[in-house]
Structure 1
Amino acid sequence: MYVEADLVFYGQPLANQNELFDFMADELEKKKYVTKDFREAIKLREKEFPTGLSLGDFNVAIAHTDTTYSRAQKLVVVKPEQSIEFKNIQDLQPLDVDIVFGLILNDSDKHLEVLQKLSNILQDRNIIKKIKNVKSQDELISLMQNHFNE
């Protein structure tokens, strides 16, 4: 799975999870990467199984849903203009998330492989620092492609 430039979004003015998931669904539906039921499925999945992760001074979410709502293998990266509240996967407490990774997987066998790759990237403090300090769309695209498309 590769990070594609047209699925990386920087500085999006999204106020909450609903706006974020609607934005993601709109972008993915336009490209026919997901079914029409994806929008509600990802919202429901997040309510039932929160995906927020605290990485110390930087928080991420790895949002995803069942493979039946996906028509492709894609990674969506959204660094919103301001943090969006998610629930922490560990203690279910509110967590202000700085970047969201949306896993669009139509092959359940790939799920663990993609999570492992993303986990390796997120454990690297240097990469996290770079992601945190990104100042533009092009910089975010380049950074994600350099570390994910190896």
Structure 2
Amino acid sequence: MKKITSNKEKHYLAVTLSGENDKEVLTQMASALQEEGYVKDSFPEAILKREEVYPTGLPVGEISVAIPHTDPEHVNDAAICLGILDKPVTFNVMGMEGETTDVSILFMLSIKHKEDQMDMLQKLITVCQNQDTLKEIMAQDMDKINEVMTTLVEG
């Protein structure tokens, strides 16, 4: 895993990473949030457990995404970690038992207040429906990454 940007003021970071499966990728990203102080020690395990019960893979087009998150009790500060995978990893699809999708981009959320969750998810889904934006993120276009992350955290 390699950190490509971190903005403490705006509460986001972005990493490139690789893994053989969803658990490896999720653990690496949760650790990145933990290293930055955004989440508690319980966060990585909580993310994995929640993903098992409530999968977050979204097949939104050529580039699929996942939006892993967990309960506020595991969070110190609200933040978003963008993960760009060097090769896709299979995730279970949100709300579709038995369906999978190969995910290339993850937006891991550490949400401090439950009432903020739906608003953030709606903003993220808008971003994720734009394949051109996702392609720019995959290409690690730093201007686009900072623009998207700033829009997400500032509303």
TM-score class, shorter:
0.7 to 0.9
Would the alpha carbon gap of residues 25 and 124 (structure 1) be closer, same or farther in structure 2, given more than 3 Å must change? closer
Q: TM-score with structure 2 length normalisation?
A: 0.82
CA deviation map 1:51-103 (0-9, x unaligned): 00011212100000011111111011001111111001142312110111101
Equivalenced residue count is: 141
Please name the residue that 1:62 is paired with.
67
What SS does the corresponding residue of 1:82 show, helix, strand or coil? strand
Report how far residue 121 of structure 1 moved.
1.4
Mapped pair 1:25 → 2:30: yes
Q: How does 1:1-150 map to 2 (within 5 A)?
A: 5-6=5-6, 7-10=13-16, 12-92=17-97, 93-132=99-138, 134=139, 136=140, 139=141, 141-150=142-151
What are structure 2's unaligned runs of at least 5 residues?
7-12
Distance, in Å, in 1 between the alignment partners of 2:15 and 2:61 is 23
Note the aligned Cα RMSD (angstroms).
1.8
Report how far residue 108 of structure 1 moved.
1.2
What SS does the corresponding residue of 2:67 show, helix, strand or coil? strand
Distance, in Å, in 1 between the alignment partners of 2:74 and 2:35 is 14
One-letter amino acid of the structure 1 residue matched with residue 61 of structure 2: G
Runs of 4+ more than 3 Å apart: none
Give the structure, 1 or 2, with the largest relative contact order (CA under 8 Å, sep 6 or more).
1
Contact (CA 8 Å) 1:41, 1:65: kept in 2 or not? Answer: yes
Q: TM-score with structure 1 length normalisation?
A: 0.84
